[in-house]
């Protein structure tokens, strides 16, 4: 599906020349050249987005969520923005004939190509997105193989449409760290490397057992409170990061440090996940700007290194419910 960008430029310019040669006016515009939306938004199964200066992406429906390049879950707000354009975008006005040439040139220079397909691979719509109007209240659109550009908007919304497609790769991605089915967790460990006494393991063996992290440590004679364990495991149904910091310049050096906490999850199907936490205040203490360091105290955060390779920034208040102690679960 990827289009050669040079061919893209040629096709757009040829379409414009055809438009000029045929003497097309805004009064004779075809309905076909403004068919930007799809009749049934639920039929959209795949959206391909091609850029001039960065890698193209593909958004694919996967049950009740979407995948980015068939790998990463797409942020809900991001895919909702795309679908809102495909479903509700409307023509605000037709640019004047005198403005059309510059609009076409702008689309050829900075245009974003969008193609939407159904589950059978049938193309539902295909168009180019140009820049925004000078007042930032509309965006230039051009249908594939058409010559007449239009200015589109979303009714009752002040946002511009281009920004819904011009995200960076990380901005498309969902920031969730955990979305686990607690009933499928076989074993979970929380280790505090500098505090082994409060580290623990939760093991499912019929009922749940909470044990010391160190298998050689003496086991408490107290019974495990099943309700507390079940409530705790339910917290793993959702944890959202503030941002994905995969391009952080100190990712490797931070990852090599002794973590404050190391969470490991084993699942019934043999799956495995882990997350290592590094307090940002500790990491930044000696080499950050004093003003920045003081600002961090307002809302402490963790860096989180996940077993799947992502490096997260996580607000500490969101993590606190996961950072419990061994004795908490004992009656």
List the pLDDT tens digit at each of the 331 positions of the chain. Answer: 444 444 454 454 444 444 433 333 333 445 588 899 999 999 999 999 999 999 999 999 999 999 999 999 999 999 999 999 999 999 999 999 999 999 999 999 999 999 999 999 999 999 999 999 999 999 999 999 999 999 999 998 888 899 999 999 999 999 999 999 999 999 999 999 999 999 999 999 999 999 999 887 888 789 999 999 999 999 999 999 999 999 999 999 999 999 999 999 999 999 999 999 999 988 876 566 677 677 777 889 999 999 999 999 999 999 999 999 999 999 8
| Residue 314 · residue 242 · CB < 8 Å | yes
Percent of the chain with pLDDT over 90: 78
Give pLDDT, residue 159. 82
Write phi, then psi, for 228 (nearest 5 degrees). -65, -40
Average pLDDT, the chain: 89
**Structure confidence by residue, pLDDT tens digits, 49-94:** 999 999 999 999 999 999 999 999 999 999 999 999 999 999 999 9
Taking the C-alpha atoms of residue 122 and residue 253, their distance in angstroms, rounded to an integer, is 48
Q: How distant, in Å, are the alpha carbons of 58, 212, 247, 270, 326 from that of 220?
A: 53, 8, 44, 29, 10
Pairing of strands 57-62, 239-240: unpaired
Q: Other C-beta atoms within 10 Å of 137: how many?
A: 13
* Full-model pTM: 0.82
Task: Name the token pair of 122.
Answer: 């049938």
Q: What is the pLDDT of residue 125?
A: 97
Distance between start and end Cα atoms, the chain? 60
pLDDT of residue 283: 84
- Tell me what pLDDT residue 221 has: 82
What backbone torsions phi and psi does residue 201 show, to the nearest 5 degrees? -125, 140
């Amino acid at each position: 599906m990827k289009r050669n960008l040079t061919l893209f430029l040629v096709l757009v310019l040829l379409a414009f020349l055809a438009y000029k040669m045929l003497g097309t006016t805004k009064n004779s515009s075809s309905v076909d050249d403004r068919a930007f939306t799809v009749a049934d938004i639920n039929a959209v199964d795949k959206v391909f987005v091609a850029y001039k200066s960065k890698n193209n992406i593909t958004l694919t429906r996967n049950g009740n969520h979407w995948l980015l390049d068939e790998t990463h879950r797409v942020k809900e707000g991001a895919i909702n923005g795309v679908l809102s354009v495909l479903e509700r975008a409307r023509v605000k006005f037709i640019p004047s004939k005198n403005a059309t040439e510059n609009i076409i040139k702008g689309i050829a220079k900075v245009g974003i190509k969008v193609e939407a397909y159904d589950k059978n691979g049938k193309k539902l719509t295909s168009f180019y997105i140009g820049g925004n109007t000078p007042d930032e209240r509309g965006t230039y659109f051009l249908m594939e193989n058409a010559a007449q550009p239009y200015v589109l908007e979303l009714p009752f919304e002040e946002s511009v449409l281009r920004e819904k497609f011009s995200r960076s790769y990380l901005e498309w991605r969902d920031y969730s760290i955990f979305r686990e089915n607690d009933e499928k967790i076989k074993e979970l460990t929380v280790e505090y490397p500098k505090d082994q006494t409060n580290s623990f393991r939760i093991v499912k063996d019929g009922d749940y057992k909470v044990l010391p992290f160190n298998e050689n440590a003496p086991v408490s004679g107290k019974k495990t409170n099943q309700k507390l364990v079940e409530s705790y495991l339910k917290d793993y149904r959702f944890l959202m990061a503030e941002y994905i910091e995969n391009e952080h310049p100190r990712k490797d050096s931070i990852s090599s440090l002794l973590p404050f906490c190391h969470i490991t999850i084993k699942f019934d199907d043999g799956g495995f996940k882990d997350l290592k936490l590094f307090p940002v205040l500790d990491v930044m203490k000696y080499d950050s700007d004093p003003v920045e360091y003081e600002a961090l105290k307002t809302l402490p955060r963790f860096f989180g290194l996940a077993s799947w390779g992502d490096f997260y920034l996580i607000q500490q208040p969101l993590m606190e419910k996961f950072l419990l102690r061994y004795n908490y679960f004992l009656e």
